[in-house]
Amino acid sequence: MGLCPTVYRFTRKTKCLLLLALCLCVLAWVAAFISGTVKPFELVPTQVQKWERMGSEVEAGLNTEPGGLYTPTELLQTKEKEEEELPKAPCPKKSPLLRGPLPLSFEPALTLGRVEGENGAVSGGQYQPADCVAQQSVAVLIPHRNREKHLLYLLHHLHPFLQRQQLHYAIYIIHQAGEETFNRAKLLNIGYLEALKDYSWDCFIFHDVDLVPENDHNLYTCDQQPKHLVVGRNSTGYKLRYKGYFGGVTALSRQQFLKVNGFPNSYWGWGGEDDDLRKRVELQRMSVVRPPAAIGRYTMVFHQRDNGNEVNKDRMRLLSKTSDMWKKDGLNSCTYQTLSVERPPLYINVTVNIGKPPSTH
C-alpha cells in the first residue's frame, strides 16, 4: 500500500481514460508502421542510410536535402571519378576514326592560335585518347630552323591525323640554334635522346617539316621492321624516288633505332644521312617495309633550298664508310648543348647548339 499510494487514489473513471489513451497511442503507432513512415527500432536514420537514400534520389532525379552530407551533384561527381579510375580497354587494332584520303589545305591566313583552338585535347605537345589505351606511344621528331609556316601547316594536319589514329603521341621540334650548316641527322638523334627523358616511347617518327601526309591509313606506328612512309609525293608524281630511298618520314621503334646506333652525326648540309640510316638498318639484317603506294602519299610544301643547308659534297665518301663508322658515329657519340626546352600547347620545342662541321673548326 505504501509503495504506490497514488495509483490507489485514481478513481475508476480516470483509470478507464488512461487505458483508452494508451490504446489510441498503440493504434496510431501500428498504423504508422504499416504505412511505412516508421520502422521499428530505427527511428533515426544512420549516415549510410542517408547516403543510400540520396543516391536513389539522385538516380530518380530528385533534388532533396541540399544541406545533407553530400549534395546530389557531389554524389554524381564521386560516381564519375570512380568511373574515370576504372581501367581503360586497349584501343582497337584499327581505329574506327580513320577517314582515308582527305583534301589538305594550306591557307596563307592560318594562325597558331586557330590550330591550338582546334586541338584543345593536346597539352604540352602531348595527347592520348580519352576512352581507350593507345596501341603504341609515339614520339614525332621534326628537325627545324626558319620554317615557321611549314611547321604551322604540318601541325595543323598532323594533330587531327594522329588523333584519328588513336595514338598516344607527342610532337618534338628540334630547333638548331645559330647559323652553322644544318645537320638533320644529328638533330634527329638529339630528338630521340631528349624525348626519352620525358617518356619511354615505343616508336619514333623521323619527320621532315615540309611533308604533309594525305591519307590517315598511313599509320604512324612501328612494325617488326623499320618503316619508310613516303612512298610518293606530289612533287615527284607520287613515285618512289629510287629503290633504297629512306628519306622524308621514317618509323623506327626505340629498339630498332638503338640497334643501328641512330643516325650518323657527321652529315652536314643536304643529303646522304637517310641513305646512311638505310645502310645501318641493312647491316643489322633488318629490312625496310612500306605502306601501299595509294596510302603512302604526301604533299610537299614548296620551298627553295635554305641558306645553310647546301648540298653535302662529302656525302658519297661518308656513305662508302658506313660499315666502319656506324658503331662509332651515332647515338653513342652525339654531343650537344640544350639551350632551352619549351612546352607550348601543341609541341615540345627543344633548342640546341650542335656545334659546327669539322672543316670550319
Find the shortest distance in angstroms from Cβ 117 to ligand BGC. 35
- Cα angle 79, 80, 83 (rounded to 5 degrees) comes to 90
Site of grid cell 611549314:
150
- Residue closer to ligand BGC (CB basis): 166 or 309: 309
SS3 state of residue 103? coil
> What are the CA-CA distances from residue 36 to residues 24, 29, 44, 58 (Å)?
19, 11, 14, 21
Tell me how far apart the alpha carbons of residues 11 and 13 are, in angstroms, rounded to a whole number. Answer: 5
Q: Which of 51, 116, 241, 270 is catalytic?
A: 270
Active site residue 274: yes
- Residue closer to ligand BGC (CB basis): 226 or 271: 271
Active site residue 83: no
134: its cell numbers: 593507345
Active site residue 216: no
Q: Which of 59, 303, 317, 342 is catalytic?
A: 303
What b/e readout covers 72-85, taking b as 16+ CB neighbours within 10 angstroms? beebeeeeeeeeee
- Residue closer to ligand BGC (CB basis): 50 or 241: 241
Give residues in contact with ligand BGC (CB under 6 A). 241, 247, 271-272, 274-275, 315
Cβ-based neighbours of 181, under 8 Å, separated by 6 or more: 268, 269, 308, 309, 310, 356, 357, 360
- Residue closer to ligand BGC (CB basis): 305 or 328: 305
Find the shortest distance in angstroms from Cβ 77 to ligand BGC. 54
Q: Which of 273, 275, 276, 329 is catalytic?
A: 273
Where do runs of H (alpha helix) occur along the chain? 5-9, 12-35, 47-59, 72-84, 112-118, 148-164, 184-198, 254-259, 273-283, 315-319, 322-325
Find the shortest distance in angstroms from Cβ 236 to ligand BGC. 9
Cβ-based neighbours of 132, under 8 Å, separated by 6 or more: 88, 89, 90, 91, 92, 166
Find the shortest distance in angstroms from Cβ 339 to ligand BGC. 27
- Residue closer to ligand BGC (CB basis): 208 or 214: 208
- Residue closer to ligand BGC (CB basis): 51 or 270: 270
Find the shortest distance in angstroms from Cβ 126 to ligand BGC. 29
Contact 91, 129 (CB under 8 A): yes
Contact 103, 168 (CB under 8 A): no
Find the shortest distance in angstroms from Cβ 272 to ligand BGC. 4
Judge residue 192's burial from the number of C-beta atoms within 10 Å of its C-beta, 0-12 exposed, 13-18 middle, 19 or more buried.
Answer: buried
Just list the catalytic residues.
208, 210, 270, 273-274, 300, 303, 305
